[in-house]
Structure 1
Amino acid sequence: MSYGQVEIYSHGSTHTIHETCGHSNCNEKILEALGVGEERYSDAYEFEVGEATITVRDHLGESDSCVWCYGCGDFLRHANASPRPDGSYFGCRCGDPKSDREPMEPMVDVNGSLELRPFK
Protein backbone atom coordinates (compact mmCIF):
# COMPACT_ATOMS: atom_id res chain seq x y z
CA MET A 1 0.00 0.00 0.00
CA SER A 2 1.47 3.38 -0.94
CA TYR A 3 0.32 6.80 0.13
CA GLY A 4 -1.21 9.07 -2.47
CA GLN A 5 -3.41 12.04 -3.13
CA VAL A 6 -6.48 13.03 -5.10
CA GLU A 7 -6.15 16.41 -6.82
CA ILE A 8 -8.99 18.55 -8.13
CA TYR A 9 -7.85 20.77 -11.00
CA SER A 10 -9.86 23.27 -13.03
CA HIS A 11 -9.56 26.66 -14.71
CA GLY A 12 -5.76 26.45 -14.74
CA SER A 13 -5.03 25.62 -11.12
CA THR A 14 -5.21 22.90 -8.49
CA HIS A 15 -8.04 23.77 -6.10
CA THR A 16 -7.94 20.96 -3.57
CA ILE A 17 -5.77 18.00 -2.62
CA HIS A 18 -7.11 15.13 -0.51
CA GLU A 19 -4.41 12.85 0.90
CA THR A 20 -5.03 9.11 1.10
CA CYS A 21 -3.40 6.07 2.69
CA GLY A 22 -3.67 4.37 -0.72
CA HIS A 23 -6.13 1.68 0.38
CA SER A 24 -8.64 1.06 -2.43
CA ASN A 25 -11.62 1.58 -0.07
CA CYS A 26 -10.32 5.04 0.89
CA ASN A 27 -9.60 6.03 -2.71
CA GLU A 28 -13.08 4.89 -3.78
CA LYS A 29 -14.74 6.71 -0.87
CA ILE A 30 -13.01 9.98 -1.80
CA LEU A 31 -13.75 9.58 -5.52
CA GLU A 32 -17.42 8.82 -4.85
CA ALA A 33 -17.68 11.91 -2.63
CA LEU A 34 -16.24 13.95 -5.51
CA GLY A 35 -18.81 12.63 -7.97
CA VAL A 36 -16.77 9.96 -9.76
CA GLY A 37 -19.14 7.04 -10.33
CA GLU A 38 -18.23 3.51 -9.26
CA GLU A 39 -18.11 2.27 -12.85
CA ARG A 40 -15.37 4.77 -13.71
CA TYR A 41 -12.66 4.30 -11.08
CA SER A 42 -11.61 0.70 -11.67
CA ASP A 43 -8.36 1.27 -13.58
CA ALA A 44 -8.21 4.96 -14.43
CA TYR A 45 -6.22 7.59 -12.61
CA GLU A 46 -7.76 10.73 -14.15
CA PHE A 47 -11.43 11.68 -14.42
CA GLU A 48 -13.43 14.56 -15.87
CA VAL A 49 -16.29 15.74 -13.65
CA GLY A 50 -17.99 18.82 -15.04
CA GLU A 51 -15.24 21.39 -15.64
CA ALA A 52 -12.86 19.75 -13.16
CA THR A 53 -10.18 17.13 -13.70
CA ILE A 54 -9.70 14.75 -10.78
CA THR A 55 -6.34 12.98 -10.70
CA VAL A 56 -5.28 10.15 -8.38
CA ARG A 57 -1.54 10.19 -7.69
CA ASP A 58 0.50 7.44 -6.06
CA HIS A 59 2.62 9.77 -3.92
CA LEU A 60 2.19 12.60 -1.45
CA GLY A 61 3.31 16.09 -2.36
CA GLU A 62 5.17 18.43 -0.03
CA SER A 63 3.15 19.70 2.92
CA ASP A 64 3.74 22.24 5.67
CA SER A 65 1.12 20.59 7.85
CA CYS A 66 0.63 17.07 9.19
CA VAL A 67 -1.27 14.69 6.87
CA TRP A 68 -4.16 12.28 7.54
CA CYS A 69 -6.03 10.04 5.11
CA TYR A 70 -9.31 11.66 4.07
CA GLY A 71 -10.91 8.24 3.62
CA CYS A 72 -10.23 6.59 6.98
CA GLY A 73 -8.63 9.31 9.09
CA ASP A 74 -5.36 7.42 9.73
CA PHE A 75 -2.30 9.57 10.39
CA LEU A 76 0.09 9.42 7.40
CA ARG A 77 3.03 11.70 8.20
CA HIS A 78 4.25 14.79 9.96
CA ALA A 79 4.76 18.05 8.13
CA ASN A 80 8.04 18.57 6.35
CA ALA A 81 9.50 19.92 9.54
CA SER A 82 12.89 21.52 9.86
CA PRO A 83 14.50 22.08 13.26
CA ARG A 84 15.10 25.62 14.42
CA PRO A 85 18.04 26.63 16.63
CA ASP A 86 15.72 26.86 19.67
CA GLY A 87 14.70 23.18 19.28
CA SER A 88 11.21 23.85 17.87
CA TYR A 89 10.18 22.77 14.40
CA PHE A 90 9.10 24.79 11.40
CA GLY A 91 6.07 23.33 9.63
CA CYS A 92 4.97 20.70 12.13
CA ARG A 93 2.69 21.84 14.95
CA CYS A 94 3.13 18.67 17.01
CA GLY A 95 4.57 18.83 20.50
CA ASP A 96 6.85 15.93 19.57
CA PRO A 97 7.28 15.62 15.79
CA LYS A 98 9.13 12.32 16.20
CA SER A 99 6.05 10.53 17.59
CA ASP A 100 2.98 9.33 15.73
CA ARG A 101 -0.36 11.14 15.96
CA GLU A 102 -3.84 9.93 16.72
CA PRO A 103 -6.07 9.37 13.67
CA MET A 104 -8.72 11.95 12.79
CA GLU A 105 -12.40 11.29 12.26
CA PRO A 106 -12.83 10.10 8.63
CA MET A 107 -13.83 12.72 6.10
CA VAL A 108 -17.12 14.46 6.62
CA ASP A 109 -19.07 16.62 4.21
CA VAL A 110 -19.38 20.12 5.63
CA ASN A 111 -21.33 22.53 3.42
CA GLY A 112 -20.18 20.76 0.28
CA SER A 113 -16.49 20.36 1.19
CA LEU A 114 -14.64 17.37 2.60
CA GLU A 115 -13.01 17.97 5.97
CA LEU A 116 -11.25 16.03 8.70
CA ARG A 117 -12.08 16.63 12.36
CA PRO A 118 -10.51 15.44 15.61
CA PHE A 119 -12.35 12.63 17.41
CA LYS A 120 -14.47 13.99 20.26
Structure 2
Amino acid sequence: MGLRHAAAGVTGLLVAAGLGLLAGLLGADDQFWLRAGVFAACTLGPACGLGWLLFVAGRTGPDAVAHPEETVEHLWWQRSAAGSFLDLMVVGGLVLTALSVTDLRVDAATVLTGLVVLGLGDVAVRMAVLGRREA
Protein backbone atom coordinates (compact mmCIF):
# COMPACT_ATOMS: atom_id res chain seq x y z
CA MET A 1 0.00 0.00 0.00
CA GLY A 2 1.60 3.19 -1.15
CA LEU A 3 1.35 6.83 -0.41
CA ARG A 4 -1.48 7.27 -2.92
CA HIS A 5 -3.63 4.70 -1.14
CA ALA A 6 -2.99 6.34 2.23
CA ALA A 7 -3.89 9.75 0.78
CA ALA A 8 -7.11 8.29 -0.64
CA GLY A 9 -8.04 6.82 2.75
CA VAL A 10 -7.26 10.02 4.63
CA THR A 11 -9.24 12.05 2.09
CA GLY A 12 -12.21 9.73 2.51
CA LEU A 13 -12.09 9.98 6.29
CA LEU A 14 -11.79 13.78 6.23
CA VAL A 15 -14.63 14.25 3.73
CA ALA A 16 -16.92 11.89 5.66
CA ALA A 17 -16.08 13.56 8.98
CA GLY A 18 -16.69 17.00 7.48
CA LEU A 19 -20.05 15.96 6.07
CA GLY A 20 -20.98 14.39 9.40
CA LEU A 21 -20.07 17.56 11.31
CA LEU A 22 -22.00 19.69 8.83
CA ALA A 23 -25.07 17.48 9.22
CA GLY A 24 -24.72 17.65 13.01
CA LEU A 25 -24.56 21.44 12.94
CA LEU A 26 -27.62 21.76 10.71
CA GLY A 27 -29.84 19.74 13.04
CA ALA A 28 -32.57 21.42 15.03
CA ASP A 29 -32.55 19.19 18.12
CA ASP A 30 -29.83 18.31 20.62
CA GLN A 31 -28.61 15.05 19.01
CA PHE A 32 -25.50 16.52 17.41
CA TRP A 33 -23.16 13.54 17.87
CA LEU A 34 -25.72 10.96 16.84
CA ARG A 35 -26.54 12.82 13.63
CA ALA A 36 -22.87 13.56 12.92
CA GLY A 37 -21.88 9.93 13.47
CA VAL A 38 -24.66 8.51 11.32
CA PHE A 39 -23.96 10.89 8.44
CA ALA A 40 -20.22 10.28 8.65
CA ALA A 41 -20.75 6.52 8.61
CA CYS A 42 -23.17 6.73 5.70
CA THR A 43 -20.88 8.90 3.60
CA LEU A 44 -17.65 7.04 4.37
CA GLY A 45 -17.91 4.65 1.41
CA PRO A 46 -18.59 7.29 -1.24
CA ALA A 47 -16.00 9.61 0.33
CA CYS A 48 -13.33 6.88 0.14
CA GLY A 49 -14.38 6.32 -3.47
CA LEU A 50 -13.79 10.02 -4.10
CA GLY A 51 -10.34 9.75 -2.53
CA TRP A 52 -9.57 6.71 -4.68
CA LEU A 53 -10.66 8.58 -7.82
CA LEU A 54 -8.51 11.56 -6.92
CA PHE A 55 -5.32 9.74 -5.92
CA VAL A 56 -5.29 6.14 -7.19
CA ALA A 57 -7.43 5.68 -10.30
CA GLY A 58 -5.44 5.68 -13.51
CA ARG A 59 -2.12 5.69 -11.68
CA THR A 60 -1.67 2.06 -10.72
CA GLY A 61 1.63 1.43 -12.46
CA PRO A 62 2.97 0.17 -15.75
CA ASP A 63 0.51 -2.73 -15.94
CA ALA A 64 -2.52 -0.41 -15.87
CA VAL A 65 -4.92 -1.03 -18.72
CA ALA A 66 -4.66 1.66 -21.39
CA HIS A 67 -8.21 0.98 -22.61
CA PRO A 68 -10.45 0.00 -19.69
CA GLU A 69 -13.28 -0.82 -22.09
CA GLU A 70 -11.24 -3.83 -23.23
CA THR A 71 -11.13 -5.60 -19.85
CA VAL A 72 -13.07 -8.79 -19.33
CA GLU A 73 -14.93 -7.26 -16.37
CA HIS A 74 -16.14 -4.42 -18.54
CA LEU A 75 -17.37 -6.88 -21.16
CA TRP A 76 -19.19 -8.84 -18.45
CA TRP A 77 -20.76 -5.59 -17.25
CA GLN A 78 -21.96 -4.72 -20.75
CA ARG A 79 -23.44 -8.15 -21.30
CA SER A 80 -25.09 -8.16 -17.86
CA ALA A 81 -26.57 -4.69 -18.31
CA ALA A 82 -27.90 -5.51 -21.78
CA GLY A 83 -29.55 -8.70 -20.57
CA SER A 84 -30.97 -6.92 -17.53
CA PHE A 85 -32.43 -4.18 -19.71
CA LEU A 86 -34.29 -6.76 -21.76
CA ASP A 87 -35.54 -8.44 -18.59
CA LEU A 88 -36.78 -5.09 -17.25
CA MET A 89 -38.62 -4.39 -20.51
CA VAL A 90 -40.36 -7.77 -20.33
CA VAL A 91 -41.26 -7.41 -16.64
CA GLY A 92 -42.40 -3.81 -17.16
CA GLY A 93 -44.62 -4.88 -20.05
CA LEU A 94 -46.12 -7.74 -18.05
CA VAL A 95 -46.79 -5.51 -15.04
CA LEU A 96 -48.32 -2.85 -17.27
CA THR A 97 -50.55 -5.44 -18.94
CA ALA A 98 -51.61 -6.91 -15.59
CA LEU A 99 -52.40 -3.48 -14.16
CA SER A 100 -54.35 -2.48 -17.27
CA VAL A 101 -56.41 -5.66 -17.37
CA THR A 102 -57.22 -5.75 -13.66
CA ASP A 103 -57.71 -1.99 -13.33
CA LEU A 104 -55.62 -2.15 -10.16
CA ARG A 105 -54.11 1.14 -8.96
CA VAL A 106 -50.57 1.01 -7.59
CA ASP A 107 -48.44 3.92 -6.46
CA ALA A 108 -45.79 4.84 -9.03
CA ALA A 109 -43.05 4.93 -6.39
CA THR A 110 -43.80 1.31 -5.51
CA VAL A 111 -43.59 0.15 -9.12
CA LEU A 112 -40.41 2.13 -9.84
CA THR A 113 -38.74 0.91 -6.65
CA GLY A 114 -39.56 -2.65 -7.63
CA LEU A 115 -38.11 -2.16 -11.11
CA VAL A 116 -34.89 -0.62 -9.75
CA VAL A 117 -34.42 -3.41 -7.21
CA LEU A 118 -35.15 -6.01 -9.89
CA GLY A 119 -32.67 -4.37 -12.28
CA LEU A 120 -29.88 -4.18 -9.69
CA GLY A 121 -30.43 -7.76 -8.61
CA ASP A 122 -30.60 -8.96 -12.20
CA VAL A 123 -27.29 -7.29 -13.11
CA ALA A 124 -25.62 -8.65 -9.95
CA VAL A 125 -26.77 -12.21 -10.66
CA ARG A 126 -25.76 -12.00 -14.32
CA MET A 127 -22.31 -10.65 -13.38
CA ALA A 128 -21.81 -13.46 -10.88
CA VAL A 129 -22.89 -16.10 -13.39
CA LEU A 130 -20.64 -14.70 -16.13
CA GLY A 131 -17.73 -14.40 -13.72
CA ARG A 132 -18.12 -18.02 -12.65
CA ARG A 133 -18.70 -19.34 -16.13
CA GLU A 134 -15.89 -17.50 -17.92
CA ALA A 135 -13.25 -17.09 -15.21
Give the TM-score normalised by structure 1: 0.22
Give the TM-score normalised by structure 2: 0.20
Q: Hey, which of these two has a bigger chunk of strand by percent?
A: 1
- Of structures 1 and 2, the larger Rg is shown by 2
